[in-house]
Structure 1
């Protein structure tokens, strides 16, 4: 008897999704074997260890039944069915609505298997997607979302119970890997401990809001030659961001590091972590920063307020002038006090305990 963990793809765009699934699977009974399926991409391209993986090497067109692949869907479903039967799976964990659209038609006719679908962010559910979820046997289907905000939104849309599984980290394990401030700065090539350093972490895509952040930081740092902004991440907007960083008002003030495998160890290099996202299902970066004892300034999003409440520092969504003002205020604030208040609000030990219990219940079916 085993668990199948079905992911859409590997690679850096999906690293945070793999991280959440790994956290969930780490909470289950150790004797229960897990096998990961990658519908696209390879295990080698994943930014986290996915263990034993079956690589299906399918294209998006085939998985979505586009063009000629629509005619071949029955063959694809047959292959999935045979693999599921051979695996002796009793629980299947699905990564979001895309994977659910692909596998639920097959799983519907396999009554021995329970299904858990994890939603990681805002999802556009078309009528067919809503019908697929509603028509699946309710006794065998559990829907979960990585935040209370997302769970409530999905539940309102679907009319189906959605469990809030707010992702969390093991505080002791996370903090034990953190580099001291001096070492973290030295490894990033930053000035000494007295310089003001703001950090931002995430994929270089439009939804992360980094283009707007650069404009805001350029204005805020105009009279502060010792201020620095470090953006850690990789993605399709890198070239455009790099061109903006080369302009006179930002040159030598912004470091674009690219992807760092061990980014979670570097947080103490920063005085503040800035999260200018336009939308988030949860925002693991917020949790990582708070666990590291670094205060967070984030976009005014419900999911961030869910985690930090009134201790959070918020700036208007995609508002360059609002962010400029917020950055300047943050630079004058007692960072240690803000960080301590945010840590207390996030309550990492309680959050990890709650996450662990809910994850075990999802896998075991004892909800």
Structure 2
């Protein structure tokens, strides 16, 4: 099967999206010579070579969005893209969200190809008035809109006025667990004291991840727990603001800004509690990773987190500092191992992985124009 996967950008900020596309492409890994991956922006190499033949277009954001004087530039770009897509003549185009879809779908619609188009939505996006009509250009039997969670599918379905299928993303639990390192080794890599109580976060340092209020939470907790420590693994534009707040609250010895780390997925056992205070998420792979590492999770009360942990989750509104303090104190004073096991049983990572694989095997192979119930890995419904 020939597949062309087109992603918005390379780079550290897009790592989780790359991982999802890699997992999808791994389902047809025996035909790697027929797989192609395009990165529209950025120059950084992919994490591995499992994505087939890689091409970096190295385009600018302005050229991709095609606004104002860049409209003419985009017209020439789309002509070039059309020639390359026609040359490859892929059976399936796998597109990374609405930004890529806006650029590529008009191109595909003008070509006399029978390629099927799968658009994978990884998170909430700001929709344009023209977006619902965008997908009319592709015959319904050749188009699938897929969201990485049921909550996201429902939201997008309402915005676009058409069916969006939920195929909740999952990662291979066996591969993930094999890569984990011990608590002591993980703390050693992060420069942490083995006796500290460590609260962990993993993600880009941006406002929507909700990390800034966690510094106020730490300040409150440190009044009664002098050995508590917060680790933020990730990098982003909010780092200066976080550093300023750390200085203002005199938390320098209690916070580690670990930056972007390629070994981030190996380090979860360094944490006593995982904090996920996001204000917006399409799925949140870090939740799955923490649970599979047997680390209890406290998360914001987003529907996508409730979808994954159900009644076993501990949820707090993103900006409720006192609520986070209470929830973390509760976890620290309880049997953390038992809570982690309960959350792991509810997440059921092995079954989730099998459903994810089955969903995309069927999506990639479907030539019938119909979608079976199992293509929605939760309950067979489209939103």
Q: Which residue of 1 aligns with 2:377?
A: none
Deviation string for 1:218-272 (max 9, x for gaps)?
1112221111111100011111112222345412111111111011101001111
Give the aligned partner of residue 18 of structure 2.
18
Mapped partners of 2:145, 2:3: distance in 1: 16
The answer to whether structure 1 residue 264 and structure 2 residue 252 are counterparts is no
Question: Deviations along 1:106-162, whole A, 9 cap, x unmatched?
Answer: 111333111000000112221211110234211111000000111111122223221
Work out whether residues 222 and 249 of structure 1, in 8 Å CA contact, stay in contact via their aligned partners in 2. no
* C-alpha separation in 2, matches of 1:48 and 1:296: 29
- Paired residues in the alignment total 365
From the superposition, tell whether residues 80 and 253 of structure 1 become closer, same or farther in structure 2 (CA, over 3 Å).
same
Aligned 8 A contact 1:207 1:279 in 2 = yes
2-side partners of 1:208 and 1:247: how far apart? 21
After TM superposition, give the deviation of residue 362 of structure 1 in Å: 1.7
How far does residue 298 in structure 1 lie from its aligned partner after superposition?
A: 0.3
Which 5+ residue runs of structure 2 have no aligned equivalent? 372-383
Tell me what 2:374 maps to: none
Q: Deviations over 1:144-202 (max 9, x none)?
A: 0000111111122223221111111111111011101111111211111x421110110
Between 242-251 and 227-236, report the one with greater CA deviation: 242-251
Q: Flag as ranges the 4+ runs of structure 1 deviating above 6 A.
A: none
1:305 partnered with 2:299: no
CA contact (8 A) 2:132 2:161 kept: no
Q: Could you say what the CA RMSD is over the residues aligned between the two structures, in angstroms?
A: 1.5
Task: Normalising by structure 2, report the TM-score.
Answer: 0.92
The aligned counterpart of 1:67 is: 68
Structure 1 unpaired stretches of 5+: none
Structure 1 CA distance for aligned equivalents of residues 219 and 125 of structure 2 = 34
Instruction: Select which of 115, 121, 143 maps to 2:123.
Output: 121
1:28 shift after superposition: 2.5
> How far does the alpha carbon of each residue in 1:260-312 deviate from its partner, in whole angstroms, 9 at most, with x for none?
10111010011110001111000000000001111100001100000000000
Structure 1 residue 48 displacement after superposition: 5.6
Maintained 8 Å contact 1:42/1:55: yes
Equivalences for residues 1-367 of structure 1 within 5 A: 2-28=2-28, 30-31=30-31, 33-44=34-45, 46=46, 50-110=51-111, 111-192=113-194, 194-247=195-248, 249-365=250-366, 367=371
Give the deviation of 1:15 after TM superposition: 0.9
Looking at structure 2, the residues matched to 62 and 227 of structure 1 have their Cα atoms a distance apart, in angstroms, of 47
8 Å contact from structure 2 (residues 105, 137) kept in 1? no
- Determine the C-alpha separation between the residues in 2 that align with 1:133 and 1:147: 20
| Greater shift in the superposed pair: 277-286 or 102-111 | 102-111
CA distance in structure 1 between the aligned counterparts of 2:189 and 2:318, rounded to whole angstroms: 32
C-alpha displacement of 1:29: 5.6
Preserved contact between residue 15 and residue 48 of structure 1 (Cα < 8 Å): no
Counterpart of 2:21 in 1: which secondary structure? helix
Does the residue aligned with 1:261 lie in a helix, a strand or coil? Answer: coil
Instruction: Tell whether the 8 Å contact from 1:47 to 1:261 is kept in structure 2 after alignment.
Output: no
Aligned equivalent of 2:379:
none
Q: Distance in 2 between matches of 1:79 and 1:291?
A: 44
Q: What TM-score, normalized to structure 1? A: 0.96
Q: Secondary structure at the match of 1:281?
A: coil
Task: Summarize deviations over 1:35-78 as a string: whole Å, max 9, x none.
Answer: 1111111242x556555311112111111112222124332221
Separation in 2 of the partners of 1:248 and 1:304?
30
